[in-house]
Structure 1
């Protein structure tokens, strides 16, 4: 694993910002991506370096492939409609684009289908390459261009491999080393031979195969993250979000101090954090939170029997013919943090299905067919579904219901579920009525996930680079310029650092609901709620929770707050102890449990490592582990 990022002001950081500004205006320049990737790596940001290196490699491969196919010509003429010289400048708006033209392909001179976004990116990248070469030679042959492209590609692949090794994505590093040997032979063996030896040895250990690692951190150029502890921020949350979520304003948000957690349990001092507190005396069994969020999604959109918007069940699902008395160990091992279990029974509710998606699916487009309850259809879905409608996004939902990751990849815990949240976030950000940067959405802006102190977090090339690019492609968005055919969105919203920040927020606060699906027991719904996310973790929680249409907090009785019981619903969402008794006094912190609290201390700490960033130091964990340090709730 690499060392923590070097994010203090420096020449490297200034150079990084210069490169980012240049890419804002020239988003198809392979050499700029390569330079920025190298700068990211020098700043100990190999995760961002991998994202830039891969984009550079895509552009270089596009150029080589389309020249070989005859769709691009170095001399200014081509068999296709695009070339290095006659393609319009990328201003984010093509004059010949027809409104509503969602066909991502066109036909070349031979009648073969060509991806329009790819061809456009290749033409613009070729122009950048020609501009670079013409600085020293005005008469450029195709062979010279292809040789230059090959040289840049070999440099890019070496940098990509080093980035993947630094993030502990050893499967992918080995795959790209082998690819580099096939494509570039002896030219890269001196640089990658020793890397391959190290990677092979790492892959012999089980630990190296489980997950890659990076750091979650507030990047210095992130202008969207609020000062979470400022008086005006706390007041805004209490005045804007809490009244909509807490019946009778039963809770409020305050600033507190919590221990800084570490993987080895060492004392690292304390840090400010937000927390949820009782605004009045709270009684056992009382519901103190009912919070809806547009940032909710379901794994099986078409056949799961759940409203795609709020996850409310509208149809019973078929239960296994032989109910199991205990959760299968393999399924239990894959269970995400923050989970509760839904009931298979449901009241009859009126629903509506998207007929445009149904027609698209019938026409061969790999899109899910969502069904919504009527209230969601009229109030919330107009914010995001126009972006998702009839788009080939079903593969992301299938990945979320798959019991195992693809072979020879480095997974991250719950990565496919967070990809569904990323898909929903991008759709909300691209809303035709109010396009917004993904980090500036009300559903994401105030979620905790990053801080000024770098914390290790699971990271994988597939979940943080490949899948986000696939999401952009499925939505018809240019992965380099961020250009959207519907004219929505802000510049820079698709960058890898944005994806990392969003996933860090999901990993920090997302809740999931277990249910019976086609493949067995799995996470059927996942969501992020602002006020809910303010409640810190404690293995002896004050409230239990359940996610069904809305996130609900119910105050636990004193017996339930002890932590040892599992409660009537998994995750501790049931009523426990004497209902009506005052169990949380005004001003006391309201805590929840992020995992199955019936687990022993070692299992609980393992489950929550990715969320908390270190070993849980709540009073119960400290007591059960025999430690002498007095713990408190954990952020």
Structure 2
């Protein structure tokens, strides 16, 4: 018979209340939102339908998040319970993040505070067992490693999975009694436990085969892929097609590009398969011309502080990344606290308002960190650790580092302006090519496609370190505090990566040839991509869009009837470019665009050239 979750619910969020209200109202299975059984995975697995299981998993995730926010410190048991719930929901990227923190807290208990500045506590707030009583921490570490290994394999991070599997086997030997060691091989026992998991979706991989193949593999993939999705509990995703959204965007656009306006554009759905009548379509935002725009006209000029720069130093403006060597000395400005450079008074003023309050008195906390009122300006001698993350000159992953630095700048902006990072204008209308949010009525059998490039280091390790530093300036930003869970929880970090991956552009260093600068220009990126664009641009401190003087491709079907290019006509959509449009191999172009668009480019040029390439 169908189950039922009773109506006595204390202040449930709207998405969850709506989900629970949709369940059949029978009495065969009652779950009270406040009861311990509602967070038990065993109880949820026994529910009579996937709809009840899904609703109960959402409820369990909500309850555990609330409990974590009420703890005076991070509680490993609650964090690992939430990781298990995320795994059952098919959110391997979130399960891995929680399991990683749980694992780290075990290491703190076993090895001491040099591992992390976080201090683990019991769910009731009591101190967690120390290294003098390692039994609890070792058992918890083992459970955490199992989730880490599974999640890393499902996400395709083979190198990291191999390291954790080796740790898991070593720990299994340590935990086994002499009798157990004689009766079974540690590898076989660990793999059996490792493969014993449950999710409401069809399994992403045959894990036992994956483990066997991984241990034989001579070369391991360092990076994987995760879902781009609007999580059910995400109430910071506005209706991008609403009149209110269009009015706000056009208000900003009027200042940067008075001859353009944003409207709704219908584009092929990139991550979905073809329907019976061709590619499926979806509504997106696009830029349109309000009047005729002649070839060579500059039609947009936009200054943005959502930038990432490596290395951090004198060469580039900290706000817009303009080359400081080209700026007259009289126009340059420097932070009155830490002396970082800005190309103009406009950039310095914008930085002070949006992400970098100057620490003019060079104040410090007792530990040498910047004070709460200026957490991102170390003054003349304060701790600069937060600015070092992601900027190692020896890094072999400079492109990935830039995406982390964009995340860092976004969080600086959110803290400085006192807003949720997903509510920043620079972020909230960005399209992340996300999969639809699952509902009870349309609960798919499988999770959405994995098209977002994923790195354990950049999605989990570096953000965790970032907040471990920030919490010394602002205690409320400690990971798993109530404010952190509301503003910076792992699903928010994952969402920010999905949004920035689709729109950020990178600029290479003229000295090293490595990616050095990335930026997000929220108005510039409203122009959708085409490999036969009608506008072009160059990396610069202030981003421009200029109408092309000639098109790079002409449809073979046009033949002698091809119309000479003179510019963009009033009412036509503006087509931007997110890759090297002079690359002639359509397969190469599409491969480069995969991480950005989340699927194969289906512009007219790619579609025509791909049909000839078959």
Query: TM-score scaled by structure 1?
Result: 0.70
Aligned counterpart for 2:351 among listed residues 361, 373, 380: 380
User: Structure 1 residue 253 and structure 2 residue 267: aligned?
Assistant: no
User: Structure 1 residue 191 and structure 2 residue 177: aligned?
Assistant: no
Aligned partner of residue 168 in structure 2, secondary structure: helix
Highest relative contact order (Cα 8 Å, sep 6+), 1 or 2? 1
Distance 1:478 1:609, change over 3 A: farther
Aligned partner of residue 389 in structure 1, secondary structure: coil
Aligned counterpart for 1:306 among listed residues 303, 316, 319: 316
Residue of structure 2 equivalent to 1:451: 434
Instruction: Report the alpha carbon displacement of residue 404 of structure 1 after superposing the two structures with TM.
Output: 2.0
User: Structure 1 residue 213 and structure 2 residue 225: aligned?
Assistant: yes
Quote the Cα distance in structure 2 between the aligned partners of 1:560 and 1:254: 26
Instruction: Report the alpha carbon displacement of residue 603 of structure 1 after superposing the two structures with TM.
Output: 0.8
Aligned partner of residue 209 in structure 1, secondary structure: coil
Query: Paired residues, what number?
Result: 496
User: Structure 1 residue 15 and structure 2 residue 60: aligned?
Assistant: yes
Residue of structure 2 equivalent to 1:509: 503
Quote the Cα distance in structure 1 between the aligned partners of 2:76 and 2:308: 35
Residue of structure 2 equivalent to 1:158: 146
Distance 1:258 1:174, change over 3 A: same
Quote the Cα distance in structure 1 between the aligned partners of 2:401 and 2:136: 37
Instruction: Report the alpha carbon displacement of residue 233 of structure 1 after superposing the two structures with TM.
Output: 1.2
For structure 1, the residue ranges without an aligned partner over 5 or more in a row are: 67-113, 132-140, 316-344, 359-368, 406-412, 565-576, 630-635
Quote the Cα distance in structure 1 between the aligned partners of 2:52 and 2:354: 36
Instruction: Report the alpha carbon displacement of residue 151 of structure 1 after superposing the two structures with TM.
Output: 1.5
User: Structure 1 residue 473 and structure 2 residue 468: aligned?
Assistant: yes
Instruction: Report the alpha carbon displacement of residue 45 of structure 1 after superposing the two structures with TM.
Output: 0.8
Distance 1:54 1:481, change over 3 A: farther
Quote the Cα distance in structure 2 between the aligned partners of 1:489 and 1:126: 18
Quote the Cα distance in structure 2 between the aligned partners of 1:439 and 1:61: 32
Contact 2:430 2:522 in 1 (8 A): yes
Quote the Cα distance in structure 2 between the aligned partners of 1:306 and 1:142: 47
Quote the Cα distance in structure 1 between the aligned partners of 2:150 and 2:51: 18
Quote the Cα distance in structure 2 between the aligned partners of 1:446 and 1:8: 32
Aligned counterpart for 2:399 among listed residues 406, 414, 419: 414
Quote the Cα distance in structure 1 between the aligned partners of 2:514 and 2:343: 21
Contact 1:353 1:371 in 2 (8 A): yes
User: Structure 1 residue 288 and structure 2 residue 299: aligned?
Assistant: yes
Query: TM-score scaled by structure 2?
Result: 0.73
Instruction: Report the alpha carbon displacement of residue 14 of structure 1 after superposing the two structures with TM.
Output: 1.8
Quote the Cα distance in structure 2 between the aligned partners of 1:603 and 1:206: 27
Distance 1:483 1:534, change over 3 A: same
Distance 1:488 1:61, change over 3 A: closer
Contact 1:229 1:273 in 2 (8 A): yes
Distance 1:346 1:203, change over 3 A: farther
Residue of structure 2 equivalent to 1:523: 515
Aligned positions of 1:283-362 closer than 5 A: 283-303=294-314, 305-315=315-325, 350-354=331-335, 356-357=337-338
Instruction: Report the alpha carbon displacement of residue 7 of structure 1 after superposing the two structures with TM.
Output: 12
User: Structure 1 residue 147 and structure 2 residue 118: aligned?
Assistant: no
Contact 1:430 1:488 in 2 (8 A): no
Residue of structure 2 equivalent to 1:54: 100
Quote the Cα distance in structure 2 between the aligned partners of 1:372 and 1:161: 47
Quote the Cα distance in structure 2 between the aligned partners of 1:233 and 1:357: 38
Contact 1:294 1:443 in 2 (8 A): no
For structure 2, the residue ranges without an aligned partner over 5 or more in a row are: 1-49, 177-185, 195-206, 357-373, 379-383, 437-447, 557-562
Quote the Cα distance in structure 2 between the aligned partners of 1:53 and 1:383: 33
Contact 2:399 2:515 in 1 (8 A): no
Aligned positions of 1:67-82 closer than 5 A: none
Contact 2:317 2:343 in 1 (8 A): yes
Quote the Cα distance in structure 2 between the aligned partners of 1:623 and 1:471: 46
